[in-house]
Structures are given as C-alpha cells and as structure tokens.
Amino acid sequence: MAADLPGIVRLRDRREALTLRTILTAARGLFAERGYARTPIRLIAQEAGVAPQTIYAHFGSKAGVLGGLVDLLDDEAGLPDLMTSAEGMTDPAELLGLLAKASRQVRDRCGDIVAILSSGAAVDPDIAATEAEGARRNRLGVELVIERIRAAGHRLDPKATDIAVALMTAGVHDSLVGAAGWSPDDYEDWLKRTLVRVLLD
C-alpha cells in the first residue's frame, strides 16, 4: 500500500508534528494574553486554524494542551540538545555551565510559558499539575548532570541537586535580570560561577 511507504509515513508524522506545534503555539499566545481559564478550546482551534475535534483528538482536553506546553518549552529552550552535548563531558565546571545555559535559555526563549504556569498555579489545579511536571523534569535534568559529575570522580556538596535547583529558579533570574537590570550573559556567567563555587567540594 502506498500509504504505508516509509516516506509517506514520515511526511504524515511531520504534518502531525506541525499541527501539534501550531496548536501549542496558539494556546501559548492565548493563555498569555487572556489567561488559561478564559481561553476555551474553540478559541485555540480558531487561532490554530484547526477543528476543535483535532485538539481533543491530540490532547484530550484543555489541560492536555497545557501539559503540552512543557514539551514545547523543553524543545524551544533546546534542552534535549544541551543534554546530548553533556554526554562526552567530564569537566565539572563545563557540566555546571550547561545547567546555567539551560536556565538562561528557558528564561530567554520560554519566559512566557514559565510566567503562565507560575502565575496560575495557585488558583487552578490543572496549571499547578503542569507546573509540577515542569519542576519534576527540571530536577531530573539537574540530577543527571550532578550524577555525571560524581561518576567522573568529583566531590560535590551532598545537597548539590537541591542547591542547583534553588539557584536556577525563575525568582532568582527575575530578581537579577528583571529587577537589577543584568544582561542574560551576566546572569548565565554568574550562575555558572556560583554553581561551581558552591557545589564543588
């Protein structure tokens, strides 16, 4: 069957991925502009140029669309690429520098998604669950880097993961870049130096 040829399947997969990204991009803009509670599926579908049934088929619900924003954040912030680049590294300062770069890229490229989740988590259980999933993934990424450093024979503070996660929070970034006027380069450089100084024993 022609429809089952690998090239056709890949094309179909690419089209589906493009549809998903279009839906998530539309939702991202609407959630930021109108708020999660005031954005119906119908409006997301209209903005994305798809039928509401397409959104339900892919995501199941508006909460599912919201959960998809965490995947979009990972992708747009380049986190899979950063984790891949860590595979050959053993130098602890370089590895901690990757955490600083990841934190910067999340804020630079997806600060709006972080803001949607942090501002709505206190009032909406769907948003709180999605924010918790984002935090879980962030912690897992930090743990992987910390364990790679330990596996290379370097000593780290026993609470290294907790400390790194705390230093990488949006509040620290916003205080330095937003309130104090630091550049993103200043922030990334400071975070790397601080992680190295505080975590390496």
Could you tell me which of 79, 84, 65, 81 has the C-alpha nearest to residue 21? 65
Cβ-based neighbour number of residue 18 at 10 Å: 10
Tell me what pLDDT residue 11 has. Answer: 59
pLDDT tens sequence across 112-170: 999 999 988 988 999 999 999 999 999 999 999 999 999 999 999 999 999 999 999 99
Provide, for the chain, the percentages of residues in helix, strand and coil under a 3-state DSSP scheme, each rounded to the nearest 5. Answer: 80, 0, 20
Q: Spell out, as residue ranges, where the chain has pLDDT lower than 70.
A: 1-12, 201
Tell me what pLDDT residue 8 has. Answer: 47
Tokens at 82, concatenated = 């950063």
Cβ partners under 8 Å of residue 13, min gap 6:
none
The residue ranges of every structural domain in the chain are 2-60, 73-199
Long-range CB contacts (within 8 A, 24+) of 112-115: 112/28, 112/32, 113/28, 113/69, 113/70, 113/72, 113/73, 114/73, 114/170, 115/32, 115/170
Could you tell me which of 106, 30, 24, 35 has the C-alpha nearest to residue 66? 24
Give the span between the Cα atoms of 39 and 30, in whole angstroms: 7
Give domain 2-60's CATH architecture. Answer: Orthogonal Bundle (1.10)
